[in-house]
Chain A
Amino acid sequence: MEYLVPILLFVGLGLLAGILLTVFSRVFAVEQDERAVKVREVLPGANCGACGYAGCDAYAEAVAKGAKPNACIPGGTDVARQVSEIMGVAFEGVAAKKATIRCNGNCHVTSDKYVYTGEPTCAACNVLYSGRSTCTSGCLGFGDCAKVCPYGAITVADGVAVVNRQLCTGCGLCVKACPNGLIEVFDETQKVEVICSSVFNTKATLAICKNGCIACKKCERTCPSDAIHVKDNHASVDHDKCTGCGACVEGCPTHCIHILD
């Protein structure tokens, strides 16, 4: 007797479980385009939004409905190739993008207005007289961008955030995290960038930061392809015209234009 009842009980439970599961998975199947599921598995899953969609799930559904298969920047070329295979669409290369932090005001070249002992985040510090460093548009060094980077590509060295271009996938999460908007994401092939976003005039910048762009317009004159212009007291590179010749780099008196490795 004690053998029969447990066996009957569990066979019944197993039967019930099996039937319910198959029925439920059949009847209540969400008409999910299985291509979207396959694309979702290929995507890295960092939900970074570089593709312009709310996350990987949203992007996968969009691809199933015909969105461009190579918009996943962090995934790079191999993800783009897999996605286009799944969708059976012609594969186009993905322009790999890298982030750059346009400030080199480390602790050796600039100083602080006050000693900040509050909440150790750039966002909080930026509220107090727009940041502790004398340069109000410079990097605060609390690493908000480092914390948000899913790939650990950004580290804070000597009070300035630095991007490790090998690890960076150009997902762009750090751009939103920086209160001073110092970070810009552009094609990996573009090598020249002005590493300063100072809004102060020549005399003020000279006093504040040795690495700062003093808006002397020397680079504007030496640039053969008219790709660099000084706007609101600091030079900025127009990446479409810039050929990466590096003429402006030597000319710059404070060496704030860098060739990115």
Chain B
Amino acid sequence: MGTWIRAVIVGSTLALLSACGQSTGSAPTNAVVGMLAKFTSDPYFVAANKGAEEAGRELGLTVEFNGPVDANVAAQADIIDRWVRRRVAAIAVSANDPNALAPALKRAAAAGIKTMSWDADVAPDARPVFLSQASFEGMGKTLVEMMVRSAGTAAGDFLIITAVLTAPNQNRWIEEIRKYAAATYPQMRIAAVLPGDEDLEKSKNVALNYLQANPGTKGVFCVTGIATPGVLEAVKQLGLTGKVAVTGLGVPSLIRPYLKDGSLEEAALWNPVDIGYAAMYIVNAQLKGTLSPQSGYVAAGRLGKLRFIANDIVLLGEPLIFTKDNVDQFEF
């Protein structure tokens, strides 16, 4: 490359940089809330975004929804950093890793941006408040009880299909399932925990391979909504419907056909629209400075008052349980 070209390039870069340096002082766009999902383009998070936008309209907040295309935690940190540079008013995150986002969120807080977490928590010292969809203990209990109802027994071998082995929420639920089962149903044995990698096909194949070799398995817990239809397909294909019970988390729109044809009796989830909706109300309270754990409650529009279950955790409510009778009432 000719030297003169190099000179032109360096010169023009510097000129551009200095020219734009002056625009730095422009006022930060107000009342923009960054809503960070684990990944975009997933029915669950799209529904959460819908709720957040609904609340945004009610509260006069601009919700900017974003997230990585895969469950990439570094990309999440990048997006937070960009929001910090833009000085958005608040950031609400659902974290792929509890600790990985902590530094970025602390930087945000240092820049005067309100932060909170929803759906999947970050390290407690990195956010003032977490909106929990359901308590882990409650979820563990619900899942085990559903399984006992579906399988008709608590004795025998059970399989757990999880998301990825590193998923923090799933790992907590599995822990609570084991804990509750050990305490309440000592004959319940968790024979294996296998990852379905948040992929329908993989979840199906894993279940297929396992059940093929272990047809005596009493039931399969699906601790991620994506795995449930896959596992049901596997059970169906092996002709084990009615012999191997399936239950777990389930997004109503995905499990509707299985509830209808009887291959699935019950599945649980919270309302993802509500969690997005509630998150924005909490953010609004933070922005207004009215969030007060001492009061024990936070007002959340059409959801009424949400309870603080700890000094920094707000509980959305109890998980919803879907059956073939009530599933049509849910639009997510």
A binds B: no
Q: Which positions in A face B, CB cutoff 8 Å?
A: none
